Amino acid sequence: MRTAFLGAALLMMVATPSLAEQQTHAAIAISANTGAWGRSFDYGTQTEAETAALEECRKHLEGHWDDCKVATWTNGAYCAAVAVSHNEDGSVAWGSNSAPTLGTARAKAMETCAGYAGKPCDEVITDICSQNY
């Protein structure tokens, strides 16, 4: 009985993915001209996450397919956020950042955005964690 239990435990250890294999990717895309955005999480690669975020952003663009750009991406246990400053013409100045916690990512995104906008930004429009926690 003890041998069977030990064998099952060893099999579970071998079958369990390594930390690197468990890491997932997330991304956020944004249109500076319209403020449209899209995000994705729980993808196996950075490319997959970025493609999904771009597709989500483009759903809101009504024909301006090339306007969405990847703002930020993360992997593993990391979070990201995008903050904006709304302009009178409907466009946005934006900044993004990532960090180990959602609160820090949001605060850093606001700081980065303010640097680009030259004034305090209005809001964090979206945030995401690679593993959506």
3-state SS record for 40-73: EEEECCHHHHHHHHHHHHHCCCCCCHHHEEEEEE
Q: Is 105 left (phi over 0), alpha (psi -120 to 50) or beta?
A: alpha
User: Stretch 108-126: mean pLDDT, rounded?
Assistant: 96
- pLDDT 10s digits, 9-58: 433 444 444 444 457 999 999 998 888 999 999 999 999 999 999 999 99
| Mean pLDDT calculated for residue range 70-83 | 93
**Mean pLDDT for the chain overall:** 83
Residues 6+ apart with CB under 8 A from 31: 37, 57, 60, 61, 64, 67, 68, 69
pLDDT for res 100 = 94
Domain ranges of the chain: 22-129
pTM of the shown model: 0.78
Which of 82, 127, 124 is closest to 102 using CA atoms? Answer: 127
Predicted confidence at residue 47, as pLDDT, reads 97
Residue 117 has pLDDT above 60, yes or no: yes
